[in-house]
């Protein structure tokens, strides 16, 4: 089971924070290494942020990736970026 943070609204976004990739897919967000994000992209043919929550869960499970839960500050950064330029 991946560690994720439930967010208030749906979004698709990717941010690099401290060398980690923060991915928002649907109404949840997860943090992973850049290598893990590349592994998911190679496995699925899609960027992690373009996957549905279910697809991302399945891809992470298949690849043996256990993400990290983003901090409140990281989620706030995602939401601020979404307010600047909505993606969905």
Instruction: Give me the residue spans of the domains in the chain.
Output: 5-64
**Which pLDDT score is estimated for 22?**
83
pLDDT digits 0-9 by tens, 72-88: 888 888 878 777 776 55
CA distance 27 to 88: 12
Give me the helix-helix angle, 53-63 and 34-44, nearest 10°.
100
HSE-up of 11 (CA within 13 Å, CB side)?
26
Give the whole-angstrom CA distance, residue 37 versus residue 18.
Answer: 15
Contacting residues for 71 by C-beta, under 8 A, at least 6 apart: none
In this prediction, residue 77 carries a pLDDT of 83
- Residue 6's pLDDT band (cuts 50, 70, 90): low
Look up the pTM and report it.
0.73
pLDDT at res. 83: 77
């Amino acid at each position: 089971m991946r560690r994720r943070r439930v967010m208030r609204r749906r979004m698709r976004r990717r941010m690099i924070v401290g060398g980690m990739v923060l991915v928002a897919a649907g109404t949840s967000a997860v943090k992973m290494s850049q290598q893990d994000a590349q592994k998911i992209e190679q496995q699925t043919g899609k960027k992690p942020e373009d996957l549905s929550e279910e697809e991302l869960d399945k891809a992470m499970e298949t690849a043996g990736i256990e993400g990290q839960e983003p901090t409140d500050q990281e989620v706030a950064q995602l939401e601020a970026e979404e307010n600047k330029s909505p993606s969905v």
